[in-house]
Every structure is written in C-alpha cells, then in structure tokens.
Amino acid sequence: MVYNVIIGVFVTEKIIKLREGEVFITLGSLLKIGGVIDTGGQAKYFLSENPVLVNGEPDNRRGRKLYHGDKVRVLNLFFLID
C-alpha cells in the first residue's frame, strides 16, 4: 500500500503483465484478473456503478483495450499495464 497525497488515501498499486504475445487486455478482463470482480459477467454492472479512470479519463466500456503503459484507477486500486 502506498499513500497517495493527491487523493489523500492509501491505495494499492498492482502491475498487470501482459502474457507473451498479447498486445492488449480489455478493461473487463483487467477487473477480473485484478480481483476487483469475481466473474467477467459482473463487469458491465460494476462499470455502470463505479467510476473508473483510464489514463486519467473516465471510461466505463468493458471492452476498452488497455495497452502497455496504460494506467487504470478503480476504487482505491491503481493498475499499471506492463
């Protein structure tokens, strides 16, 4: 856990590594792999009820493609796509 002085809370930072040969991961898959949701079917509902920032911009598309270097903030979690 890291204290983020900008938002004033402790946050968890996770690095999500793309599998060899993968160019991107979808936002819905990231939420599942990151442990935010239990099943992929929960992604649509979760994204409609919770704010998600991708590279600082709001996004609620579960099919949003995330590439190497993208940063995602959801709840008190930060993900970096590596």
Average pLDDT over the chain, rounded to an integer: 88
On the question of pLDDT at 22 being above 80, the answer is: yes
Q: What is the DSSP string of the chain?
A: -EEETTTTEEEEEEEEPPPTT--EEEHHHHHHHTTS-SSGGGHHHHHHHS-EEETTEE---TT-EEETT-EEEETTEEEEE-
Question: What's this model's pTM, rounded to 2 decimal places?
Answer: 0.84
On the question of pLDDT at 9 being above 90, the answer is: no
Per residue in 29-47, pLDDT tens? 999 999 999 998 899 999 9
| The token pair that represents 58 in the structure block | 């709001």
CATH code, residues 2-81: 3.10.290.10
Please report, for the chain, the start and end positions of each structural domain, with discontinuous segments joined by +. Answer: 2-81
